[in-house]
Structure 1
């Protein structure tokens, strides 16, 4: 099939690569404009652009994909189908209708439960046991289109956003290729979403990562995993930002104030929460490298009774 691919970050690269390897003709790739990054503000290509250029695929980087001149340029490619994976812009109806089979989206959750910008992270934060990929026929709404195919991916008890992201990227790539075969064979079936079962997975902010010790240890441990590696969960130690990369739940109830360090062992710093305690295992103090707590305690003295936050 002649595929018009629209995607931007690492999550989308696996899907683009699988489409190419499956023998489909990618007639064009649409990705977000390049942006300056890092201290030197060097302009870096998006991950999808890098993959497209490896295969000499034409790349389009419109600031606004909904502009008529952009749509007309893409129309000249005469795609059979549009494939969208974490593109980053809302597509207008004219673009959704342009390919012969319309546009499908590789969505990082089992719809309809998690619609929106951050479904992978919120599945971890909310303590879901399973996530997955849904391939849906796109419509004008945000992740509201008819579902075509799904695959489940279990969420491990130590799953982070980063690890689940990578699993779903692979699963999505495989499912998308299978779905394209269904289009070729004319065996596609569509299922409408039940809007009453949907949640909107709002975009993450750095502020969301501030650890509130008035919540339970279970909730906070999930938050830490769901925000790893970005934007990360954090608190403060002696006036300096302390990022928390890994923690365990301690069910024991301690006396003391919320956020108080109630125990220090050779490899953990235990902090009182509203229910149980959080044993910090991997942290990063402002100005220092990320490290396990055992290594951290060899260079920094932390005592019971100190408070975080």
Structure 2
């Protein structure tokens, strides 16, 4: 099977490498986003997918846009049997969707139709889900609405962060896409339409997504901390200074205090009152310009004022 791979971030790399190493598949090209300047020197950095493609000497294409049939000549020259798309970063126009014999196949990090959109991993954790997974599907004009082919379901760990879940799902997706390509090549892939009435949307996160509302209960706040770790990071304000919170645990369920009030230091963790008389124990923090560290380490050189209200 001649495969054209379209992807950009770290999540897509295991899928690309899995296809490269699989039997009876030949990755004839990789399409990824243009290099972007990073770091203090603003040097152009390749996308993770480009770096992996270069490692395997696979031709790389980085079009600024796919609109107006701008990639049509290259597509005809490559003539792929199938296009695999994993977090590419642009909407594919119809001339690309309709080109390959076996279709454009997407790897999506949720159990569709739940969590269509850009941030399914983060929202599954923020919303306190206990299961999630990966879906392979035919791509359609609308976002994440195409017929499904295969699913793989996993449990979300009680303390698992979005970053940790991201890494697990990327490996599961890598196995699943190879299985899906095999089924397609053998004519054994079954199209399963999505039930739109069961769909939900997972919008892209922004920095404000991580702002903690202390009126919520401890479970919701801990889920937000997990779901925004590593980015954008859950945060609050301590004495007008931004404090990011990366790890916390449930405290008591019968605390006395105002939401956001620091009510004590317990087991070298900061105990903060939440809604419904619950509390959390903050274990890992970072202040602006400082290092990310355990509260126990922070307390070695700093103090935390009991009674201060976080907001």
TM-score tier, shorter chain, comes to: over 0.9
Residue 308 of structure 2 is matched in structure 1 by 306
Deviations, residues 57-88 of structure 1 (Å, cap 9, x unaligned): 11111111223131222221010000000001
**SS class of match (2:134):** strand
Q: How far apart, CA to CA, are the structure 2 residues paired with 1:198 and 1:231?
A: 25
Partners of 2:266 and 2:281 within 8 A in 1: no
| 1:255 is the counterpart of 2:252 | no
Deviations, residues 68-127 of structure 1 (Å, cap 9, x unaligned): 131222221010000000001000111011111110000000000110000000000111
Q: How far apart, CA to CA, are the structure 1 residues paired with 2:38 and 2:254?
A: 45
Partners of 1:266 and 1:297 within 8 A in 2: no
Partners of 1:248 and 1:281 within 8 A in 2: yes
Moved more, 29-38 or 44-53: 29-38
Q: How far apart, CA to CA, are the structure 2 residues paired with 1:66 and 1:180?
A: 27
Q: How far apart, CA to CA, are the structure 1 residues paired with 2:79 and 2:238?
A: 58
- What is the 5 A alignment of 1:196-275? 196-275=197-276
Q: How far apart, CA to CA, are the structure 2 residues paired with 1:39 and 1:80?
A: 42
Residue 284 of structure 2 is matched in structure 1 by 282
TM-score by length of 2: 0.97
**Structure 2: segments with no counterpart, 5+ residues:** none
Partners of 2:136 and 2:177 within 8 A in 1: yes
- What is the 5 A alignment of 1:78-93? 78-93=79-94
Moved more, 76-85 or 253-262: 253-262
**SS class of match (1:201):** coil
**Structure 1: segments with no counterpart, 5+ residues:** none
Residue 57 of structure 1 is matched in structure 2 by 58
Q: CA deviation at 1:266?
A: 4.2
- What is the 5 A alignment of 1:185-204? 185-204=186-205
TM-score by length of 1: 0.98
Moved more, 100-109 or 282-291: 282-291
Residue 120 of structure 2 is matched in structure 1 by 119
Q: How far apart, CA to CA, are the structure 1 residues paired with 2:267 and 2:202?
A: 38
Deviations, residues 252-272 of structure 1 (Å, cap 9, x unaligned): 222222211011124200111
Q: Which runs of 4+ in 1 moved over 6 A?
A: none
**SS class of match (1:263):** strand
Partners of 1:264 and 1:303 within 8 A in 2: no
Deviations, residues 142-196 of structure 1 (Å, cap 9, x unaligned): 0000000010111000110011000000000000001111111111111000000
Q: CA deviation at 1:251?
A: 3.4
How many pairs does the alignment contain?
A: 309
Q: How far apart, CA to CA, are the structure 2 residues paired with 1:13 and 1:66?
A: 25
**SS class of match (1:43):** strand
**SS class of match (2:222):** helix
- What is the 5 A alignment of 1:61-80? 61-80=62-81
Q: How far apart, CA to CA, are the structure 2 residues paired with 1:284 and 1:130?
A: 30
Q: CA deviation at 1:197?
A: 0.4
